[in-house]
Chains A and B, each alone.
Chain A
C-alpha cells in the first residue's frame, strides 16, 4: 500500500462489491496479489474519515425518521448503535493519545431522506472501517473496530431489505 491516501472510485467499487469481486479481480491481475484500497496515512486520518461518514449516516437517519413515522423505533436503534461506535472510536483515540474527533453535525449540510442514499452512506462507512483496519497496528483495536464494522454491515443489509420490500 502506498503511504498516501488515495480514492480511486473504480478500485473502491471493486472492494465494495465484496471479496468475491476482489478475488475475481486478483485472478485477472498478475501476481503477486495486490489488494488495492484507500490507504490511510495515519490512525487519526482514518478515525476522522470514519467519524465524518458516521455523522452523515446520523443525519440521514434523522431525516428518514422525520419523514417516515413508522421507522421511529428502528432508526432509534440504529442511532444508538452508531453512538456506541462513536464511543469506541473516542476510546481508540484516547488509547493512542489522539485528539478528540470534531463534532461534524453542523458541517455536513442537508441530506435527503431517501433509503438508497442512506444505504450508500452506510456502505461508505462500512468500507472506510474495512480499509482502515491495517493502519491501526493493534490487535485489540482491530478487533473492536471490526465488531462495529460488522454491525454497520448488518444495518446496511436491513436497509437493503427495506428498499427491496418497498420496491416489491
Chain B
C-alpha cells in the first residue's frame, strides 16, 4: 500500500476520523456537505495527523535519531505541529466540541540517526500536505479555512527542507 495512504489510514483510524471524511480522502466519497459536522470531522482528522507528527518528531528527538546538523529543523517543525494542534483544538473548543485525544504513535524502527529517519519524517509531512490540500476546499467556516491555509504552507516548508536534506529534487 502507498506509504502516505497507509500513514493517513492509521492516523485517521487512531483519531476516529469520520467514515465520510475517510472515504473522501480515499477518493471514494462525494464532495462533503458544507456544514458544521464536516468541519468538526475535518478538524478531528487533521488533529489525528498532528498528533502522529508530534509523536514521531518527539520520538526522533528524544532518541537522537535526527542528524545533528538538522536537529534544529526537527525542533522547529515539532513546534509547528504543536501549534497546528493547539490552533485546531482551540477552534473545536470555541465551537463547543472536545478534541480527540492523542493516540499512541508507533516508535520509529531505526536505532541510529540517518536517512531512513528523515524519510519517515518526510512521509509525515507529505501525507499532511496531501490531506490538508484534499480537505481545504471542504471547510465551511472562514476562521478554520484561514487557519488551514497557514497550516498547509507550513507542511510544504517542512517537506521541502527534508527533501533537500535527502538530496531529492526540491524544485
Contacts and interface: CB of A to CB of B under 8 A. Distances in A.
Query: What's the dominant secondary structure at chain A's contact region?
Result: helix
Contact of B149 (A33, A77, A146, A157): A146
A71 to B, nearest CB: 12
Nearest to A131: B146
A143 interface: yes
Interface string B133-163: 1001111001101110111111111011100
Interface of A: 1, 15, 18-24, 26-27, 31-35, 37, 74, 77-78, 126, 129-131, 133-134, 139-143, 146-147, 149-158, 160-161
Nearest to B154: A18
Given A19-B151, A24-B83, 8 more contacts: A37-B146, A74-B171, A78-B171, A146-B137, A150-B153, A152-B153, A154-B156, A157-B170
B160 A154 contact: yes
* Shortest 9 CB-CB contacts between residues of A and residues of B: A20-B83, A130-B149, A143-B137, A134-B142, A139-B137, A153-B153, A23-B86, A153-B156, A157-B160
Q: How large is the interface on B (under 10, 10 to 19, 20 to 34, 35 or more residues)?
A: 35 or more
A149 B153 contact: yes
A20 B137 contact: no
A21 B87 CA distance: 9
Contacts of A142: 136-137, 139, 145
Interface string B75-95: 000011011111100110110
Given A20-B80, A20-B83, A24-B83, A133 B149 contact: yes
